[in-house]
Structure 1
């Protein structure tokens, strides 16, 4: 997968959002939203808001960078990836219909491969969501640092400046949204994210050129680029918070317990985001390893395991075999390249 990067603001360089496969992220988040307890559920319309917010607007400005790295033929790769993820999404849907006890993506892994399958899928999904949440904070810190260079502030005896300062400030704004357990309430945050995504898309004429300084639509693009991660962070870490609550039997601990858990998770992402110097390589690793495993390989393997006894058409077997080969190739080569780049930074 193409390496993803955060670029500078419109003051002379292209402003790039962290990209990852949108269909893949949709599968991840949609599967996780179904695993909530009834008390945290939302209506169909609000669930649509949450899901659309999770997958929209993140990669709008990353495509020019990807095309610049891979050439115009990389657009064909985008189409192939989208088609593959659409198909594996249907495989997940079929697997969820295989048994009434299946309510989430990890449940599919349990039904297909037992406890080991559930733990494997849950691990890849939660780690991926955690790293994407970190990428949102890095995006905020980098872009605000470009807009307000040289900013600094003393906080609790420590002098914060530049990227680290803005990461902490962004986290302070995000924190109250992470305390919301009810997905219906998060839908209001998602609505703000959707408005920002629409404004961002509408404010661009050409995404293949640098954003010119001094233009109104450039300012709109900058503001909405900053709003987008703030509106999406809570939704992406909500499954992680719920998993921690379930792991330690804190589902009924009330608001204080959830606030403590979500605050701890946010604090940990702030620490990582403030210290990781290779954001683009991190996003490349997420896409090439975690996303491929969660959205390409696992759906195919689970589907084969669940439905092999019923018989699978030969044409479908050929298609799944081709997808598995493609997924393994991307995972191996992409992971090797991204890890090599990360190691080279030290």
Structure 2
């Protein structure tokens, strides 16, 4: 039935409401989508978290002036987030990121978007495993598991433990429930920032490193990691469709990007002043483990990947379940699909343990493509804006050019670093 032909007594449900967020109550259907604050928590959790640990390492690679690039990337990715929303507003049937690609370029567009989106989210989720394992290994280096006579020690045992702990969060289906998990991730970012500030101020570490003004050779890595910090665009359609009042989504994005940019910049400056060029790919690995404040930061850093892991895998899970349902008519494989995804990402985490280099590659190749290039190209095609030159097309052209520079230089640099350390 056409929405315009509905009787006035018919229940009103937003066309883009999430299926998981529509329930039956008192004999009628009602929308129970996420509120403004619940969506904001999910948005903050999808953008912030892991980046706050690696941002000082990014600044140490690029030097002080590279902070300008952080704000340029933040502005560009905020704008491309709005472009995704505008693409979805053109057609109420667009519910996922691959739908945007399909609307713009047909089946080939859907395939390209799906590949880059799912691969990016999968590797980002794998990065969460690596983060949790690295921080635990910093505290429990001697831990060893004994499984039916088979001894598993070091990082391998920790990967198994972390994967098992993360498993229940992946089984959560409802976005409103997931928002409470997200709230812990946002709080964790604030606690980590406060703990690092405490270590530098009161625990004899200080802020004595002057750093370098600009490091040309490290700019590709810095640019890539800055982009990685804002790589949540494949999740935005899921957040948008789950929202009760979708007109507020632009404000959600603005609040999320402002908050994350302030926390990223603050952590970058603190970490670089404290440890200079010696800062690790995760700042928690630099903190002295004998101080209470350091332990607070390290243990809190474990909450971040736990809170973000399931949110990053959600679009992949939805895509696989929809594919299974279209062929078998069932959704009974939900927990099986979620379990297999967690196991496979744990295997990848064991194979590629280089967090800094892996995230640099994800930022340069996958995040640039999924969060910068694809939104621009899809919007130009769907809106028809490419037919006339104007301010909007000029801005988009600049963003695309920046994305291509990061893509080429950052991918080459990060691949070279990974190969050298294998």
Distance between the aligned counterparts of 1:218 and 1:160, measured in 2?
A: 28
Aligned to 1:84: 76
- Corresponding residue of 2:159: 167
Following TM superposition, by how much is the alpha carbon of 1:268 offset from its aligned partner in structure 2, in angstroms?
A: 0.4
Return the TM-score normalized by structure 2.
Answer: 0.69
Q: Which residue of 1 aligns with 2:130?
A: 138
Greater shift in the superposed pair: 306-315 or 108-117: 306-315
Distance 1:236 1:35, change over 3 A: farther
Give the equivalent residue in structure 1 for 2:177: 185
8 Å CA contact retained: 1:35, 1:104: no
| Partner Cα separation in structure 2 for residue 156 and residue 111 of structure 1 | 53
Report deviation, 1:252: 7.0
Residues 222, 116 of structure 1: CA spacing in aligned structure 2 closer, same or farther, 3 A cutoff? same
Local SS of the residue matching 1:249: helix
Corresponding pairs, count: 312
Flag the 1:164–1:310 CA change in 2: closer, same or farther, 3 A. closer
RMSD: 2.3
5 Å-filtered alignment, 1:1-346, equals 36-39=18-21, 42-44=33-35, 45-205=37-197, 206-208=270-272, 209-210=274-275, 211-249=287-325, 253=330, 257-308=333-384, 312-346=388-422
**Could you tell me how far apart the structure 1 residues matched to 2:348 and 2:51 are?**
22
**SS of structure 2 residue aligned to 1:62:** helix
**Unaligned runs of at least 5 residues, structure 2:** 1-15, 23-31, 198-269, 276-286
Asked whether the 8 Å contact 2:100–2:110 carries over to 1, the reply is yes
Separation in 2, partners of 1:343, 1:147: 28
SS of 1:186 mapped into structure 2: helix
Please state how far the C-alpha of 1:35 moved relative to its aligned partner: 8.8
Query: In 1, Cα distance between the equivalents of 2:291 and 2:354?
Result: 31
> For residues 139 and 188 of structure 1, what CA distance do their matches in structure 2 show?
22
Deviations 1:181-205 (A, max 9, x none): 1112222222222222222222222
| 1:60 partner SS | helix
Measured after TM superposition, the shift of residue 134 of structure 1 is 0.6
Kindly tell me: are residues 313 and 94 of structure 1, through their superposed partners in 2, closer, same or farther at Cα, counting changes over 3 Å? farther
Q: 1:328 to 1:91 in 2, by over 3 A?
A: same
SS at match of 1:53: helix
Displacement of 1:168 in angstroms is 0.6
Change (3 A) 1:339 1:138: same
Contact 1:134–1:273, Cα closer than 8 Å, also in 2? yes
CA-CA distance at 1:224 after TM superposition: 0.6
Alpha-carbon distance in 2 for matches of 1:285, 1:310: 30
5+ unaligned residues in a row in structure 1: which ranges? 1-33
Which moved further from structure 2: 297-306 or 206-215? 206-215
- Counterpart Cα distance in 1 of 2:334 and 2:95: 22
TM-score using structure 1 length = 0.83
Q: CA deviation at 1:227?
A: 1.3
Q: Answer 1 or 2: higher relative contact order, Cα 8 Å, separation at least 6.
A: 2
Q: Which residue of 1 aligns with 2:230?
A: none
